Every structure is written in structure tokens, then in C-alpha cells.
Chains A and B, each alone.
Chain A
Amino acid sequence: MIGFATIATVPGLLIGMVCGLIPLGIALYYRQLRPGLLGWLACAFSGFACGFLGGVPMIVLTTAVVISYAYVNKQDPFTSRAALAEVNFEETRLELLLRLLAGLGNSVRAGLVALLRNKAGFIGFLGVLFFFLMSVFGPLLIPYDGRPHPDRRLPESRTLFQAPSAQFPLGLDWQGRDILSHVVHGGQGLILTAGLAGVLTTIIAVVLGALAALLGGVVDQVFSAFSNFILTIPQFPLLLVLASVLTFESNVALALLFALLSWPTLMRAVRAQVLSLRERDYVEAAIALDLGLWHITLREVLPNMISYIVVNMIFSIRVAMYSIVGLVFLGMVPLREPDWGVMIFVGRQQGALSNSISVWMVLAPVLAIALFQLSLVMFTRSLEEVFNPRLRSGL
């Protein structure tokens, strides 16, 4: 299991509440009560979810947003309508810090606005958020029901399999355990492993694709040949074979293996994108201005690919999730409860495919996985707008 430090804790909540005082104080100083309170809530909430690690970035972000609200009223001399002679360009460290934070805050606000603008994307965002919150905060509300409960057999039912009822909204499984608690507790490992696999895939693909396109020549040929070689191997069967040979003690290893097998598709797309982007006029202008290869790669080419990369990362996460569930379903990786994949595996073993009474064991995790996947797909719609300055133009 990947170290999932994101289980809600009381100390985390305290850290978050204390951290949140910083944006709140600044907001009160600038007489911006509403963003201040929202900032405090965001800090407390993220501290609750992720402890110190979640609290600190949140302070920075919310402070930035609060300051950007304050800056709406305060005219920055740099963007004033004054003429050249009337402007004083000197500024103190503090003013620079405020200006930079205001810039960051504007970006965050513009991103949030873009996130909210696309309806389908926003619904997807809510779905992803729901599953995230369920995995993080759910365990606080619903304790894990891991032991068999023969006592839960109802007088009129013939087995422990039970359809949803008011007491057990998703029913009981073959040992009389609450399926809802398994759904709530079983997402963490799967989502994190799939997420890690997607991120690793994207990193490998972007680095290799960009190198192939920028260096060209032998490097390009070797990388492309290598990616073609991996592409010709059917991915899932190979994963299956490897999984049966190797034993995956950690999910990190599984994620890494998945990444090593699935980077070529995205790498070819990234390579093609870089090849196209580097022919743009603004790249030629950067060459004429002698801005250097690093600048051209990181500042001219990469920012125009970010939305594409992020969207593809989401898609790799989806594919990784299906693959991992598939492996678990076939029993090729060590089974650890609670896990959505293991739930399907056990459900099939208990005859969910042929016997209608055990269908509830499978239905709940399948729905959870399908809904999470759907949310991810819809979420990408909004992400495109968030990362594209042309679409984000609002603010």
C-alpha cells in the first residue's frame, strides 16, 4: 500500500485551523471578510485531509487569492494608465512579494472560474472530489467492517448475501460484512496506485518524447524504435505474464511496471506535438533572439502542451486503473482487502456472474469504478480550459 497519509486526523485539523489564520488575518487587514473566511475554511479542510503537507500549500494559495482580491481595488503602478514619465518603477521587497502573490492568486481564481464554467467538466470535478473525499474522510464516519458476521443473517434470508436495506445501504457480502464500508475503504489503494502509474507514465513519455523531438537524429530513431517495439507487444497480456512471475509486494512496483509498459503511445503524441510546436513563428523569434534551448523547451514549447499533457495523464490514470482492476480480478497480484478490485474478484468467486443473490457484491465496486472513470473523463473537459490561457481569458 502506498503510504496514504491523507487519512483525516484531528492534529491535521488543528494544524489547518491554525494555518488558516494567516489568510484570514491578511483578509481582515484588507477588509475582505468573505475570501478570508473561505481561505480559513480551505486551510482547515486541507490540513484535516493531508496534515501539515496539505496545510502549507493551502496557506500560500489562499493568501495569494486573498491578496489578489485586495489588489483589485489597489492599482498596481505597473499596470496603471499613467504615461511613462509619471510611473515610479521602484518597489520594495514586500511590494514585490505582494505583487507576485497577487499574480498567483489571480491565476488560481482564473483557474477556478474556468473550472466552474464548463458544466460537464464541473460535474466531473465534483465526481472526482466526491471519491477523493470519500476515500479520505469516509473512514472517519464508516468504520471498516472486516470480520465475518454470521449473526447478520436475517431470519427470512437463506444466506449471508443480502440486498440493500435501510441498515446496510449497499447490502452485505458473503461473510455478512457491510459492502458500503468496503466501498468507502477500498478506493484509496486503487486510486493512488492508478494515479501514480499515470503520473509515472506521463513523466517518462514527456521526457522521452521531448528529447526525441528536440535532439532528433540517432536519439529520435532509437527512442522511436524502442517505443514501436513496446507498442507491438500486447500490453495487458504482458502485464499478466509479468505479474504472475513477479510478486508485487508494493503498489509502487506495480505502478512502475505499468508505467514502463504504457509510455510509448503518449511519447509518440508528445514527440509529434513538440515537432509541430517548434516550427511555430514564436519559436523562430526566440531563436532569433538567442534565448537558448532551455528557454525554448520550457518556456515556449512546454506551456502550450500542458493542457494536452494533463488530459493525457488523466487518461493514463484511467487505463492504469482498469489494468490494475483487471489484474486483481484475475487474481494475479497479492489480494489485500479492502479493495474495489478484490471485491469484484471475491464476488465472482461467490458466483456473482450466475447467481443473482451475490450480484450486490459486484455491483457496488463496479459502479464505484465506472463512476470514478466517468468523472475523470468529464473532468478533463474543464482541465483543458484551466490550462489554456486562450480559454481562461476571463480575468
Chain B
Amino acid sequence: MINPAPAAAAPLVALRHVYQTYKKDNHLLRVLQDINLEIHPNEILCLVGESGCGKTTTGKIIAGLLTHTEGEVLFKGRPPASYTGARERADLRRTLQIVHQDPFASLNPAHTIGQILSYPLQRHGMVSGRAALRRRIWELLTLVDLTPPGDVVNKYPHQLSGGQRQRVSIARALTVQPGLIVADEAVSMVDVSIRIGILKMLHRLREELRLAIVFITHDLALAKYFAWEGRIAVMYLGRIVEIGPTPQVIGQPAHPYTRALLAAVPEADPDLTRHKQQIPLRSEDIPALAAIPPGCAFHPRCPFHVPGLCDASLPPLAVPAGFQQQAACLPLHQPEGLRRYGT
């Protein structure tokens, strides 16, 4: 395996046993632990979790914008170090794009929308000639539903609304014809009424341009809506605790943390919310990254934890009996796991 030829089905990005740690005041902050993920072309993967669980870090590692401390990250089946040629590296770099959470910070306030889109187009020779450049900018703006494009092309970012800026941000990522877009909380700072429109547009772009989308969110309801045809990975304190196809994870959640998250999702119908079964957590506090509890990191908060089992050893990420998704929960993997939950 000195020079493995990338197989046809090689995932766009593969994370194998990836760890990310920071040293801070003699503490070791374990931001990511043992992350295993594969993202295939044209796939939707949703990373869900509370703030601080490492989902943004994972997203940046997937986008190749952050180096991990341990483990292996493969791009199209090959480690980044094997991309030696300048052209090859540039191609890889452009394959992976990111759309940031804050549309007010992700667009340079000093440039007009037309300029923002023209820089990557010109730099990488995506178009030749002024007329083609202007036509391409119009096409991109039309693609992200900013019509008529003439209205926004000469405006500065601060003259646009949050939703419009987020569309510009997406158009900018599309300038280099990427294969994967990491959408980091891409709609969380956009007005609720605009969100669905942007999500629908992302869906359409995924189909038209055959994009893979890594959608990072803290909102399970959004994840359910957006990633119904894809997969959801639930993260807790730097680990993936549950991963599988969205209908299964949402419809039949395995891990107690996922169940708690789902129970906390407010429904539009107040009656439904009132009668929804609440899962009381044992503690509201999220442990600090510097002091991650031993065993299952969730056990101090878990309503179903088994003393002597959950706090003793690490739960493996495996498919429990009766489920189709992987979950990292020791009681679930016991023979009587399902009965204990009453599911």
C-alpha cells in the first residue's frame, strides 16, 4: 500500500481515529477523541451536538482547514501529505469549501459582492475574459436565488440582510466548483423565516452540482429536516455517540443523549409539547473538556446509567441489537439492554 490507487468508491474525506487536543495551562483539552467518519460524494452528513462538543472542529478538519493531533485523515483515499504537486494540492484545497455560521463576519466588509465572487474566479482561471467573468458572477448569484443579480452585485455586505449574505457566502464557495461544502451552523444566525429557503436551496445545489454537504447544527429539528436522506452523527464531548441514517436516529434513537436531545426539541403544537415524554437529565451541567468523566462521558447526566458499568469502561461505537445505527452506550449492548429502556 505504498501508493494506493483511489478506488472509485473512495470516500471524499475519511477520518480514522482522529484526536484533537490542546494544551492550556497544564490542562490537556481533549476536543476530539477517536472520531471515525466517512463522507461520500453527494452525501449529506449532519453533525449534531451541544456547543463545545467539537462539531465545528470536526468540520474544519473535514474541510482541511485544521490539522489534527493524532489519527489519520484521508482525502479521496489519500493522506494530504501524498498530494505533492502544487496543482494537485490546489485542486484538493478547492474541493473542500466552508460556509461559516456568521454571515456578518464571513464576508469582507471592504469588498462588493461582485468583487468577492470575482477574486476566486480570476485567481483560478475559472473564466476567461471580462464578459465571461461578469456572466459567471450573474450565474452564481442566480444559482443561489439572489435575483435579479444586478441588485446585489455592486452592494457591500453590510447593505444586505443576513439571509442574502449567507447566500453570497454559499455562492463564493461555489465559485471554485467544490465537491464538498461544510456548512457550519449555516442558518443558525439567519431569521427563522428565511432558514427553510436556504436549506431548500442547499438541497437543490446538492442535486444539481453533486455536492456532498456536511451540515453542522445544534438543532435536531433542522438536522431532521435537512438530512432526511443522509446520515446524522450525534456528538458529545468530543466523541461521536450515535451515528446512522437520519430516519432511524430520529425515529428510534438509541443513545440516551440522543433521546434527551429529541425530547427537548420543541414542537410547533403546544399540546404535543405538553404531552411529550420528558427525559429528566441527572445534571444540567456539561463537564469541562479539561475534566472529561471516565468511562462514558455522558454517565454523570444520564438518567439510565448503570453504576459500575458506565463509569468504568469506554462504550464502543457499535450497532446495538434491534437498531440500524451505531451507538456508544454500554447498557444498550447488554443482552437485556432494550428491555431496560422499555422500547
Instruction: Name the residue on B nearest A292 (C-beta).
Output: B123
B105 at the interface (CB under 8 A from A): yes
Instruction: Name the residue on A nearest B100 (C-beta).
Output: A281
B225 at the interface (CB under 8 A from A): no
- Residues in chain B near residue A285, CB distance under 8 A: 98, 100, 106, 169, 172-173
- Residues in chain B near residue A81, CB distance under 8 A: 148, 150-151
A390 at the interface (CB under 8 A from B): yes
- Residues in chain A near residue B135, CB distance under 8 A: 84, 89
- Residues in chain A near residue B96, CB distance under 8 A: 288
Q: How large is the interface on B (under 10, 10 to 19, 20 to 34, 35 or more residues)?
A: 35 or more
Which residues of chain A (73-129) have a CB below 8 Å from chain B?
78-84, 87, 89-91, 96
Q: How far is the CB of B55 from chain A (nearest CB, A)?
A: 16
Chain A window 307-318, contacts with chain B (Cβ cutoff 8 Å), 1 for yes, 0 for no: 000000000000
Report which residue of A90, A282, A288, A295 has the largest number of chain B beta carbons within 10 angstroms of its beta carbon. Answer: A288
Which residues of chain B (72-99) have a CB below 8 Å from chain A?
90, 93-94, 96-98
Chain B window 290-306, contacts with chain A (Cβ cutoff 8 Å), 1 for yes, 0 for no: 00000000000000000
Instruction: Name the residue on A nearest B97 (C-beta).
Output: A288
- A82 vs B149: C-alpha distance in the bound complex, in angstroms? 8
Cβ-defined contact, B142 with A84, below 8 A: yes
- Residues in chain B near residue A91, CB distance under 8 A: 130-131
Cβ-defined contact, B105 with A281, below 8 A: yes
B278 at the interface (CB under 8 A from A): no
Given known contacts A289-B120, A300-B108, A90 and B131 CB-to-CB distance under 8 angstroms? yes
- A246 vs B169: C-alpha distance in the bound complex, in angstroms? 57
Cβ-defined contact, B148 with A80, below 8 A: yes
Cβ-defined contact, A284 with B109, below 8 A: no
B27 at the interface (CB under 8 A from A): no
Instruction: Name the residue on A nearest B149 (C-beta).
Output: A84
- Residues in chain A near residue B148, CB distance under 8 A: 80-83
- A299 vs B118: C-alpha distance in the bound complex, in angstroms? 12
Q: How far is the CB of B139 from chain A (nearest CB, A)?
A: 6
Instruction: Name the residue on A nearest B139 (C-beta).
Output: A84
- A83 vs B142: C-alpha distance in the bound complex, in angstroms? 9
- A372 vs B100: C-alpha distance in the bound complex, in angstroms? 46
- Residues in chain A near residue B173, CB distance under 8 A: 285, 288-289
A291 at the interface (CB under 8 A from B): yes
A280 at the interface (CB under 8 A from B): yes
- A344 vs B131: C-alpha distance in the bound complex, in angstroms? 63
- Residues in chain B near residue A80, CB distance under 8 A: 148, 150
Given known contacts A281-B106, A282-B106, A282-B107, A289 and B153 CB-to-CB distance under 8 angstroms? no
Cβ-defined contact, A291 with B130, below 8 A: no
- Residues in chain B near residue A159, CB distance under 8 A: none
Given known contacts A282-B106, A291-B120, A87 and B111 CB-to-CB distance under 8 angstroms? no
Stretch at the interface among B41-49, B154-162, B246-254, B335-343: B154-162
- Residues in chain B near residue A96, CB distance under 8 A: 130
- A291 vs B124: C-alpha distance in the bound complex, in angstroms? 8
Q: How far is the CB of A75 from chain B (nearest CB, A)?
A: 9
Cβ-defined contact, A303 with B108, below 8 A: yes
Task: For the complex of A and B, list the 4 residue pairs with the smallest distance between their C-beta atoms, beginning with the closest.
Answer: A303-B110, A281-B106, A89-B131, A281-B100
Tell me the A residues contacting B by CB distance below 8 Å.
78-84, 87, 89-91, 96, 280-282, 284-292, 295, 299-300, 303-304, 389-390, 393
Q: A290-B124, A303-B111 are in contact. List 19 more A-B contacts (CB 8 A).
A: A78-B134, A78-B153, A78-B154, A79-B154, A80-B148, A80-B150, A81-B151, A82-B150, A83-B142, A83-B147, A87-B150, A89-B132, A96-B130, A288-B65, A289-B172, A290-B93, A299-B111, A393-B158, A393-B159
